[in-house]
Amino acid sequence: MKRLVFRAVLVTLVVLACEGGALLLEKVFPALPGPYRAKGPPFLAPISPGQPLRHLSKTSVANEGGYFGRYYPPARTPGAYRIVLLGDSMGFGFGVDGEKGFPMMIEDELNRRAAAAAAGGKNTPYQRYEILNFSVPGYDTFLETERCRLSAERFSPDHVIVAYFPNDAIIDRFTPNAWRICPVRWRKFDRAVGIAIEYSGFMRVVHDTWKRARTGYPGVVTGHPNLVNPDHFGFQCAMYWLGTLRARLERNGVKLSVLQIPYLAATDKAWDPERHVQEYLERWFTYHGYATVNLYPIVRGRDPSTILLLPDEHPNELGHRLFAEYLSTRLDKLGIPLPE
């Protein structure tokens, strides 16, 4: 009996030592992402006016409304069509000045058309167009839906565009543990991993070290090639959250459409897997009733070094200009009412 008690105490001490050591390692080494950032509702705090936001090598500051770019107050402008853009760093326009990001270029183009139509005596459904950029670097589809619910919807948009980047289906530590908040059916093993890395620092360190060695990205529960696998819980969760956002917006008379933003790292390759990813997504969104525009065709065949900011791999000014030029000819596909 004493030997049994001794072994139990010893095992307990070893477990506590491993847990304590793992928690210390997570604090000491930034490469280890640590626990989930949020445990339960509210899952994220609204971004405050003037709040700095750092992503990779750049810091941006939120405007008076707690979003980025040009400021428009919550009160609606008479005669204006208001669009909210949700997304991650790609929609945010990371790495370029706000005026040179594709969202502001599209706003300028819409307002140029409206002014030209009014001057020519032609019909224009709206005198002005406003794009409010609520994108936040690092966000996924779940956090974007929460950002819309908590912040963007009080600005009473007519239209919400989700800038969908393939890694939005990644389940990582920015999102609360998905097995708690996503009702899709998980494999038992995935669920066990999700529980283990939520409650155990030791299991997180083991998991993250293995993930970094294997993929280079610690903290990710799912990644390539499952980003567009319709049977994988990561993709299923992303589409579930997108569907709940669309349903809520449509109940309030607000349109939702999807803008597909591609990876740009291999656009000059004869066989770029991103082409097939974007074509699959376009078919999926169209089949499920989403108005969508795929931006991949405008960058296909281009040297990535000419359209990317390196080493961060985000579109540079030319990349944003190409996006804006291509999108400006397809705005009607997103359901945006255009001047004649």
DSSP of 61-90: E--TTSSBSS---SSPPTTEEEEEEE-SHH
Residue 20's identity, in one-letter code, is: G
| Cα gap 151→45, rounded to integer Å | 9
- Report the CATH fold assignment for 52-334: Rossmann fold (3.40.50)
* pLDDT computed for residue 56 by the predictor: 63
pLDDT band at residue 222 under the 50/70/90 scheme: very low
* Percent of the residues in the chain that have a pLDDT greater than 90, as a whole number: 42
Can you give the pLDDT at residue 330? 95
d(CA 68, CA 58): 14
Average pLDDT over residues 258-267: 91
Query: Which tokens go with 61?
Result: 């500051």
> Computed from CA positions of residues 93, 96, 99, 105, in that sequence, does the dihedral angle turn out positive or negative?
negative
Report the mean per-residue pLDDT for the chain: 86
In angstroms, the CA 5 to CA 212 distance is 38
pLDDT score of 220 more than 60: no
Per the CB < 8 A criterion, the answer to whether 221 and 234 are in contact is yes
For the segment 21-50, the average pLDDT, to the nearest whole number, is 76
- pLDDT, position 208: 81
Q: DSSP assignment, residue 162?
A: E
Instruction: Give the 3-state secondary structure of residue 287.
Output: helix
Using 50, 70 and 90 to split pLDDT, how confident is the model at 105?
Answer: very high
pLDDT higher than threshold 90 for residue 249: yes
For tokens 């949020």, the residue is 38
